[in-house]
Amino acid sequence: MSIGTFSLPALPYDYDALEPSISEEIMKLHHGKHHQAYVTNLNNALKTYSTAITDNDVPSQIALQAAIKFNGGGHINHSLFWKNLSPSSSADANPTSAPTLTAEIDKTWGSLDGFKEAMGKALLGLQGSGWGWLVKDGNTLRIVTTKDQDPVVGGEVPILGIDMWEHAYYLQYYNGKAAYVENIWKVINWATAEERFKGDREDAFKILKAAL
Amino acid sequence: MSSSLLRTTPLLRAGLRARAAKPLAAMATTSFTRGKATLPDLPYDYGALEPYISGQIMELHHSKHHQTYVNGFNAAVEALAEAEAKGDSKAAASQAPLLNFHGGGHVNHSLFWENLAPNGKGGGGEPEGKLLTAINQDFGSFENLKKQTNAALAGIQGSGWAWIVKDKASGNLTLVTRANQDPVTGNFEPLLGIDAWEHAYYLQYQNRKAEYFSAIWDVINWGTVAKRFGQ
């Protein structure tokens, strides 16, 4: 069985482009080291898994699933995350770039501020490492949280992901994660969110195939 | 950061002991009596574990993170008591995850601070006596214990802890990991805990967590471990 090798997708902006919301140092480590480690470990796990399939070694295949889920999830989540961030100076960072999505958000949470409040509560309520996501489930918008690097792969379309691992904010915000959550709204890429909202799951995950 | 400004009082290490939150007369008017958890003082200065763990990390970890668990635990205990007083089982049950997370965070960190000591002043070196005998028996060697613990720490997917525990039934030592702030409970007695949350090392080691896991052995207080082991 032949398998593809994933590679680290390039950031669609410079490391310092999200300042002052997210510092250059954080972005460099987060993309260049953390995301890279998920990619490297995913490739290693898939390679071993491929051998286990060739060898009909089912116990090894099962044992590898945790590593595939964790590192594959880390790769998926970060790939989605970079794309749903944008320098605040860009028009993409303005919610008016997502007219269809924000209309649906208004219907669900009353207003954009109502959504941000609900999302903030979910993000700050995470116990340990994890992510908060705005997802489209059928025709319904929902906020979900996932632990560690569990990806949103249950049939929902991920529209907007926010990384709540400490490595995503600690060098700049320390234990003040509420300030990180407040500031990340300034660098959300609403154009990407609109595109994902209008598309389906395949569209949202196409970036992964591109990283093969 | 001047460590002299960060001096803590080593005598006040009573965080896990309950302290009366209200005067007795006031408590008599409520349907429950309890104390509030408080942040225990560190048994050493914030800068005392350098260069293995920086003073900045220790200060934030103790005065901010641990304090937040203490506050969260007290809030959850209070909410539980209120729900119980009202006979609201649903509200009481909804406190369970918060009790586990914040209560676990308080318990884990309280155990952790005492597991550490400045290098050469109770920290580092090697376990001795019956503890060493047990380590050799259950892990093969002290080196092997460190190797296995470091591998377990590196394998934690997300936030969590690794613990050397004593199995209460057999008396044997074993290595376990716990997710997030899940405390070690049940048949295991926690002897040595190592915090693998990113806030425990990130300001100094960033993504190089293996370096933190390697360095922390230089500040492990084996006296505490031996005492918990029952030596």
Compute the nearest-CA separation of A167 from chain B (Å): 7
Instruction: Give the type of residue at B139.
Output: F
In what helix (H) or strand (E) does residue B210 lie, and over which residues does it extend? helix B209-215
Q: Is A16 annotated as a binding residue?
A: no
CB < 8 Å to B106, chain A: none
Residue A126 in contact with partner chain B when CB distance is under 8 A: no
Interface pTM (ipTM) of the complex?
A: 0.94
Q: Do B68 and A175 touch (CB under 8 A)?
A: yes
Other C-beta atoms closer than 10 Å to the C-beta of A134 total: 28
Hey, what are A177's tokens? Answer: 């994660």
CB < 8 Å to A175, chain B: 60, 64-65, 68, 199
Q: Do A166 and B64 touch (CB under 8 A)?
A: no
Q: Is A167 annotated as a binding residue?
A: yes
Q: Do B157 and A70 touch (CB under 8 A)?
A: yes
Residues of chain B scoring pLDDT < 50: 1-33
pTM: 0.90
C-alpha distances (whole Å) from B173 to each of A1, B47, B105, B132, B226 are 43, 32, 23, 11, 12
Hey, what are B201's tokens? Answer: 């090392």
Are A76 and A158 in contact, with CB atoms under 8 Å apart? no
Are B57 and B201 in contact, with CB atoms under 8 Å apart? yes
**Residue-level pLDDT at A158:** 95
pLDDT digits (tens, 9 = 90+) for B162-206: 999 999 999 999 999 999 999 999 999 999 999 999 999 999 999
**Residue-level pLDDT at B24:** 41
Q: Do A175 and B64 touch (CB under 8 A)?
A: yes
**Residue-level pLDDT at B10:** 38
Residue B206 in contact with partner chain A when CB distance is under 8 A: yes
Binding site of B, by residue number, is 61, 109, 195, 199
Q: Does the N-terminal peptide bond of residue A20 adopt cis geometry, omega within 30 degrees of 0?
A: yes
CB-based burial, B13-36: b 16+ in 10 Å, e otherwise: bebeeeeeeeeeeeeeeeeeeeee
| Ranges assigned E (strand) in A25-124 | none
Q: Residues A75, A78, A79, A84: what is their CA dihedral angle, to the nearest 10 degrees?
A: 160
Q: Name which of A167, A174, A175 is nearest B207 (Cβ-Cβ).
A: A167
Q: Name which of A33, A127, A165 is nearest B198 (Cβ-Cβ).
A: A165
Are B190 and B228 in contact, with CB atoms under 8 Å apart? yes
**Residue-level pLDDT at A211:** 62
CB < 8 Å to A170, chain B: 198-199, 202-203
Q: Name which of A34, A128, A175 is nearest B207 (Cβ-Cβ).
A: A34
**Residue-level pLDDT at B123:** 98
Are A41 and A78 in contact, with CB atoms under 8 Å apart? no
Residues of chain A scoring pLDDT < 50: 1
**Residue-level pLDDT at A71:** 97
Q: Name which of B101, B157, B198 is nearest A170 (Cβ-Cβ).
A: B198
Q: Do A29 and B206 touch (CB under 8 A)?
A: yes
**Residue-level pLDDT at B8:** 40
In sequence order, what are the beta bridge partners of B164?
Answer: B175, B192
**Residue-level pLDDT at A207:** 67
Q: Do B159 and A128 touch (CB under 8 A)?
A: yes
Cα separation, A130 vs A149, whole angstroms: 6
pLDDT digits (tens, 9 = 90+) for B78-91: 999 999 999 999 99
Residue of B39, B68, B157 to mutate when probing chain A, most A C-beta within 10 A: B157
Q: Do A127 and B65 touch (CB under 8 A)?
A: no
Provide the CA A144 distance to its chain's centre, in angstroms.
12
Cα separation, A6 vs A71, whole angstroms: 11
**Residue-level pLDDT at A4:** 75
CB < 8 Å to B65, chain A: 175
CB < 8 Å to A149, chain B: 157-158
Are B208 and B193 in contact, with CB atoms under 8 Å apart? no
Q: Name which of A34, A148, A175 is nearest B199 (Cβ-Cβ).
A: A175
Give ∠ CA A149-A155-A157 in degrees, rounded to 5: 75
With CA atoms as reference, the chain B residue closest to A25 would be B206
**Residue-level pLDDT at B29:** 39
